[in-house]
Structure 1
Amino acid sequence: MTFVTKLSLESGDRAVLEETVTDIKQFLERKGAECRGPFNDPPQHLSVPQYRNLSPGDRFSPWDYPVYSRRLEIHGNDHIARQIGHRDFPPSLHVEIEVEHRKPAGHRRS
């Protein structure tokens, strides 16, 4: 059974996101891990309303900002994927890690 570790990284700071993804990719290449990606998703543009006080009505203009995201897949190499998961990521970065079991092609259920 092969394990696939999927990393999803999101940030409003594109430079920090790109630097972190580049560091992860270089680390995986040095260790000889099989990696697919980074896959780029189109940026999301979010808008947050801002109020002058706690009562409804009087508002500032909304706060608009982009969120950039990248995805990576690490195939096999569980110990290397675990090292990535234990890294200290920048506070402006949101990281999600998902581990999936994949059975080899032609594998039958018992």
Structure 2
Amino acid sequence: MTFVTKLRFQSGNRYELESQVEDLKSMLERKGAECKGPHADPPEQIAVPQYRTLQPGDEFPSWDYTVYSRKLEIHGNDHIAREVGHMDFPESLHVEIEVEQKKPLGHLRD
């Protein structure tokens, strides 16, 4: 059985996000991992209301910012995927890791 490690990176700083993802992809390729991506999602515009007091009503202008996302997949190479899972990333980068088990074609379900 093969494992697919799906990585999702999000940040408000597009340049740092691009730099970290490209560095990671280079490292994966140097180590011989099969890597797909990075794939970019459209930027997400977020507006956060800011209130002057704890009660709604009197507001400051909303805080608007953009979140950029990239997705990367590592196929097989469990030891490399595990190594990536233990890496330290900058605080401005949000990282989600999902591991999916792929069964070979024709494999009967348990």
Q: Which residue of 2 aligns with 1:90?
A: 90
Instruction: Give the structure 2 partner of residue 59 of structure 1.
Output: 59
Instruction: List 4+ stretches of structure 1 deviating above 3 A.
Output: none
> Which amino acid counterpart does residue 89 of structure 1 have in structure 2?
F
Q: Secondary structure at the match of 2:22?
A: helix
| Residue 58 of structure 1: how far off its partner (Å) | 1.4
Deviation string, structure 1 residues 53-77 (Cα, Å, up to 9, x no partner): 2233211110111100000000000
Instruction: Count the aligned residue pairs.
Output: 110
Question: Which runs of 5 or more residues in structure 1 are unaligned?
Answer: none
Look up the match of 2:37: 37
Report the RMSD for the aligned CA atoms in angstroms. Answer: 1.0
- The TM-score normalised by the length of structure 2 is 0.95
Counterpart check, 1:12 vs 2:12: yes
Structure 2 unaligned segments of length 5 or more: list them. Answer: none
> What whole-Å deviation, never above 9, does each CA across 1:59-104 have from its counterpart, x for those lacking one?
1110111100000000000000011111100001110100010011
| Farther off after superposition, 1-10 or 98-107 | 98-107
Amino acid at match of 1:56: P
TM-score by length of 1: 0.95
